Structure 1
Amino acid sequence: MNKIERIRQRASYDHDFARWSMEQAALIRQGRFDEVDAENVAEEIESLARSDRKEIRNRQEVLLRHLLKWEFQPGKRKAGWRSTIFEQRQQLKLLIKESPSLKAYPASQISWCYDLACMKAADESGLPESSFPNECPYTARQILDDKFLPGPPWTFEDLAAD
């Protein structure tokens, strides 16, 4: 079988992404670089960085939303909110550990994430958006600090009061 026939039998990027990915990986491992779909492979590599940035924004928005609900609805605090805050922080830290070049990215996205978090927190809490500050009241350091919870102190005993 000649090279042209092999190429025809390969999976198309547009029609079977999973198979195409495995084939491209095999070609690279075998050093058959002249057969690699370089343009699409490069695009996929670039998309990995975009994916990490998107995940950071999504996790930060969830984190900010729960910090807002925690601070502005102290009487409705739940252990689950605290767990969500903790998990989002841990996942953000892991993303940054795996891609240290993104360390400054969460701080650069606070405003965008905060605006969305306010809107969603208002929907979930029933509070008007005007209940929340116009700008994020938390620093980038506080947002990722495992010990930081805004508002009055809270303990698990508060759950028993419900």
Structure 2
Amino acid sequence: MTDLATLYQTDYSVWVQHTVELLRARRFDELDIEHLLEELSDMSKSEQRELESRLLVLIAHLLKWQYQYQTLSERWREFDGRSWRATIIEQRKRLTLLLRNSPGLKAIFIETMTAVYADAIELVCDETGLPATTFPINCPYTAEQLLDKTYYPN
């Protein structure tokens, strides 16, 4: 194991600083390529997990808005969906920032949206007690609607 690889195991922060210095100096033959590739791969996975998480919460709240809001507002006069609206606004903002900072995620947005939809239904069912059959089999929202600040389902 090289000294840099050992440093990765013992002092990650110093390893990062040293790796940056080597890259800036174009001393590529001294890099700890194995761990550098691992870190770059983990960065990508982290961004993908954030995209999944944000879409899951956003879709779940839009489903609650569409399928439960009317019932709750009729039962409880004081229910106005304010907390749901706040969550929808925050998730849209965070998604917009994530896509701006990591534009490569746009290529997997629809695929990720489709992949998390079943989890969103499960979350809504757990939170509301509504049966899964209440919801469409496929995500009823387009990518544009998910990111549209003015879009709220009927």
TM-score, length-scaled by structure 1: 0.78
For structure 2, list consecutive stretches of 5 or more residues without a partner in the other structure: 73-78
- CA displacement, residues 70-114 of structure 1 (integer Å, 9 cap, x when unaligned): 111112552121111111111111111122222232211222111
Deviation at 1:43, TM superposition (A): 2.2
Aligned to 1:110: 113
TM-score, length-scaled by structure 2: 0.82
Q: Comparing both structures, which one devotes a greater share of its residues to helix?
A: 2
Is 1:139 the counterpart of 2:122 in the alignment? Answer: no
Deviation at 1:9, TM superposition (A): 8.2
For the residue of structure 2 that corresponds to 1:135, the secondary structure is coil
Aligned length: 145
Aligned to 2:99: 96
Q: Distance in 2 between matches of 1:86 and 1:131?
A: 24
Q: Distance in 2 between matches of 1:8 and 1:91?
A: 39
Is 1:38 the counterpart of 2:33 in the alignment? Answer: yes
1:1-162 to structure 2, matched below 5 A, reads 8=3, 11-74=6-69, 75=72, 77-151=80-154
| Partners of 1:70 and 1:77 within 8 A in 2 | no
Deviates more, 1:74-83 or 1:55-64: 74-83
For structure 1, list consecutive stretches of 5 or more residues without a partner in the other structure: 1-6, 152-162
| Partners of 1:65 and 1:120 within 8 A in 2 | yes
Q: Distance in 2 between matches of 1:111 and 1:8?
A: 45
Identity %: 39
AA aligned to 1:68 is L
Q: Distance in 2 between matches of 1:63 and 1:115?
A: 13
Q: Distance in 1 between matches of 2:134 and 2:80?
A: 17
